[in-house]
Structure 1
Amino acid sequence: MSLTSLPVLSLTMPKAEFAQAIGESFRTFGFAMVKDFAIDRDLIDRAWKLSEEFFALPEDEKRSYHNPAIAGARGYTPFGVEIAKDAKHHDLKEFWHVGRDLPEGSPLADASMPPNVWPARPAGFQDVFTELYRQFDETGATILSAIALYLGLDEHWFDKGIEDGNSVMRLLHYPPIPNLSGEAIRAGAHGDINLITLLLGAEEAGLELLFQGKEWISASPPEGAMVINVGDMLERLTNHYLPSTIHRVRNPNPERAKFSRYSMPFFLHLRSDFPIKTLPQCISADNPDRYPEPISADEFLQQRLREIGLKK
């Protein structure tokens, strides 16, 4: 393995060994590649088919599921709305968000966690993506238990923090690019807001991470593996011990520009009222506390949504 290639880790490894391996990959890259996860392959295949069918619907029909008042929290967000922090051009993508269905009467139900929106077609959309969300959620919790062990915490440390968490599954469509000469790219350089991101569908070339802030390297996994990366919330919680690495989706080579690109990231969030407070073991003389004042997960999210153009 070269110093700039990510190892592919298996969830069948012994728990302690996996925890150490994913922790080291996160420390080095802010990213990891993981295979042998417990998400049903047939379900994933059905999800890809339904995602393609939805994004092929007429523009007016898709836009009928767009509600600017909820800042993209659920349903459809049209092409060219989202922009990377500090970028000059909007991203070349459209997407659909599926969130958590909260128990009736939950105090967390607000504009940040509104009810899900479901399209009238394609048929089966709600059932497939409700189940896929559940399986993503369970896999994310498994990954977080390994991260907890790596940080010297109890393996269940994150459990309460993500219970009824504001996690979002995004169905992403990057349409064909007829003109590659513009400055806009499919997804501008950015860090993710959340704790960790689990990404399916990055096998198509384009996903790159900024290795040690100096060099763009490919983060495309082999078939059957997913990409997992540290988000800004986990970076803050660990006082930058685990880095939220800047990444992008660059435009394709000319021969691939006429094809769409699809992916499905699952943004695993803390519950909205969770106080993000620096972990004591991540503070030292060499790494003093960058964030002496805690911030709630929802306050952090709202701040970032404004920065990326989803909230005014």
Structure 2
Amino acid sequence: MAFSSPAPFPNFPPNLPTIQLPTLSLSKLVAEDEDETKRLFNTCISTGVFLLELQSSQEGLSLIKQVDDMFQLGERIFKLGMEEKLRYSMLNGTVLGYKGAGIGRIDAKGTPDRCEFWCMGKDDVLGIVPALPAPEVVSSHRSLYADLARSCHSLSMTVLDCLETQLGLSRGTFRACHRIEQPSSDQSRQICYLPQPEGDRRTSLVPHTDYGSVTILFNILGGLQVLPEGKAAEEENWLWVRPSPNCAIINLGDAMVKFTNGLLKSPMHRVMYAPGEQANLTRYSLAYFTRPEDQCLMKSLKGSAMISKLNSEDEEVGVTAGEWVRTRVRAAQVQVDQHARFPKWATKGLK
């Protein structure tokens, strides 16, 4: 199955409640088209999630080819024997390497998740830190992971450049927090969701907000759901995201909420089983998480009249992005109340 030209499969059901996401153009954002940049900003202060059309630009076409290759590689990785995959399970106490289905929890009752991950850190694939062990099928494709990291980081910087312009921040403010050559927790995540039993279909991945800056998601089959801003996490309020050919799904993470004191939004989302007849297929997806570099201080930014000032009692602690991510990873095991286990500095501005 390829992202650009997927094999025939059942259509996304037409009668599901779906969220109406705007489709933005990567080529227009790269050109800093004023109208497209304003559309991006208005989306990011309301929902924080949108579709990004890729095929109208050379950068997008190159990324589509890389994603096709990653989808094919992902199928090979997840078909490895379980004994082989478990040799690389959550290496060095992180989520890097392999995460098996059932390791995570989706609620306070301890209900296990239903997804497998293979995660590769940006610092690893770009040689910033020593490489972690990996099976041969991964090690022989390290250049593909490196190319993907560079492309997705560049795309994320395009999004952040446009938001920076709209916020009236000094040119390069966001890039200074996301230098690709500096250590960070950026990573790619290949994901596999096996078909669920017909009489027991439920959430595959816990409801959550992302804790980085920009998430780039490539889906072929449905399954992703978003909770609209201000809605309670009741079943009837979740809306499906309809994948669109050659479009990435982009959402902001909590770091952008932190940097703008709540102005920009980080959407609550989860992954269900694929809908309709798609539920009978194995669902693969690919995500890339762009996060602030480890030494970046997680504070609201100064220099924009649009970013509200903190009250004196809300004075921020100088927490680094590295500590921010480690805290969020530890707290993400069970998320009924997603903020219940975070320290106060980690939840400022989050809803």
* TM-score, normalised by the number of residues in structure 2: 0.76
Distance 2:281 2:124 in 1: 37
Counterparts in 2 of 1:51-130, with a 5 A limit? 51-72=74-95, 74-83=96-105, 88-101=110-123, 115-121=131-137, 124-130=140-146
Question: Which residue identity lines up with residue 160 of structure 2 in the other structure?
Answer: L
CA 1:104–1:229: 2 relative to 1, 3 Å: closer
Question: Which residue identity lines up with residue 44 of structure 1 in the other structure?
Answer: V
Decide whether the 8 Å contact of 1:178 with 1:258 is kept in 2.
Answer: no
Identify the match of residue 172 of structure 1 among 183, 191, 207.
191
Q: 1:190 offset after TM fit, Å?
A: 0.7
Q: Which deviates more from structure 2 when the two are superposed, residues 51-60 or residues 128-137?
A: 128-137
CA 1:283–1:101: 2 relative to 1, 3 Å: closer
Q: What is residue 329 of structure 2 aligned with on the other side?
A: 305
What SS does the corresponding residue of 1:143 show, helix, strand or coil?
Answer: helix
Q: What is residue 292 of structure 1 aligned with on the other side?
A: 316
CA 1:31–1:204: 2 relative to 1, 3 Å: same
What SS does the corresponding residue of 2:211 show, helix, strand or coil?
Answer: coil
- In the alignment, structure 1 residue 12 sits paired with structure 2 residue 36: no
- In the alignment, structure 1 residue 42 sits paired with structure 2 residue 42: no
Decide whether the 8 Å contact of 1:85 with 1:307 is kept in 2.
Answer: no
User: How many equivalent residue pairs?
Assistant: 298
Distance 2:99 2:105 in 1: 12
Counterparts in 2 of 1:134-145, with a 5 A limit? 134-145=150-161
Residue segments in structure 2 that go unaligned for 5+ positions in a row: 1-17, 232-236, 335-351
- In the alignment, structure 1 residue 212 sits paired with structure 2 residue 234: no
Q: Which runs of 4+ in 1 moved over 6 A?
A: 102-106
**Identity, % of aligned positions:** 25
Decide whether the 8 Å contact of 1:33 with 1:228 is kept in 2.
Answer: yes
Q: Which deviates more from structure 2 when the two are superposed, residues 262-271 or residues 128-137?
A: 128-137
Q: 1:86 offset after TM fit, Å?
A: 5.7
* TM-score, normalised by the number of residues in structure 1: 0.85
Q: Which deviates more from structure 2 when the two are superposed, residues 36-45 or residues 145-154?
A: 36-45
Question: Which residue identity lines up with residue 219 of structure 1 in the other structure?
Answer: V
Decide whether the 8 Å contact of 1:87 with 1:188 is kept in 2.
Answer: no
Residue segments in structure 1 that go unaligned for 5+ positions in a row: none
Decide whether the 8 Å contact of 1:101 with 1:116 is kept in 2.
Answer: no
CA 1:87–1:136: 2 relative to 1, 3 Å: farther
- In the alignment, structure 1 residue 279 sits paired with structure 2 residue 297: no
Counterparts in 2 of 1:25-40, with a 5 A limit? 25-36=43-54, 38-39=59-60, 40=62
Q: 1:31 offset after TM fit, Å?
A: 0.6
Distance 2:325 2:155 in 1: 22
Question: Which residue identity lines up with residue 11 of structure 1 in the other structure?
Answer: L
Question: Which residue identity lines up with residue 221 of structure 2 in the other structure?
Answer: E
Question: Which residue identity lines up with residue 217 of structure 2 in the other structure?
Answer: L
Superposition CA RMSD, Å: 2.8
Distance 1:262 1:198 in 2: 15
**Per-residue displacement from partner, 1:118-173 (whole Å, max 9, x unpaired)?**
32126843232222222112111211111211221134211221112321111111
Question: Which residue identity lines up with residue 151 of structure 1 in the other structure?
Answer: L
Distance 2:107 2:169 in 1: 32
**Per-residue displacement from partner, 1:290-310 (whole Å, max 9, x unpaired)?**
563332111111111111239
- In the alignment, structure 1 residue 200 sits paired with structure 2 residue 218: yes
CA 1:178–1:103: 2 relative to 1, 3 Å: closer
Q: Which deviates more from structure 2 when the two are superposed, residues 85-94 or residues 228-237?
A: 85-94
What SS does the corresponding residue of 2:277 show, helix, strand or coil?
Answer: helix
Decide whether the 8 Å contact of 1:197 with 1:229 is kept in 2.
Answer: yes
Counterparts in 2 of 1:182-201, with a 5 A limit? 184-201=202-219
Decide whether the 8 Å contact of 1:84 with 1:187 is kept in 2.
Answer: yes
CA 1:103–1:192: 2 relative to 1, 3 Å: closer
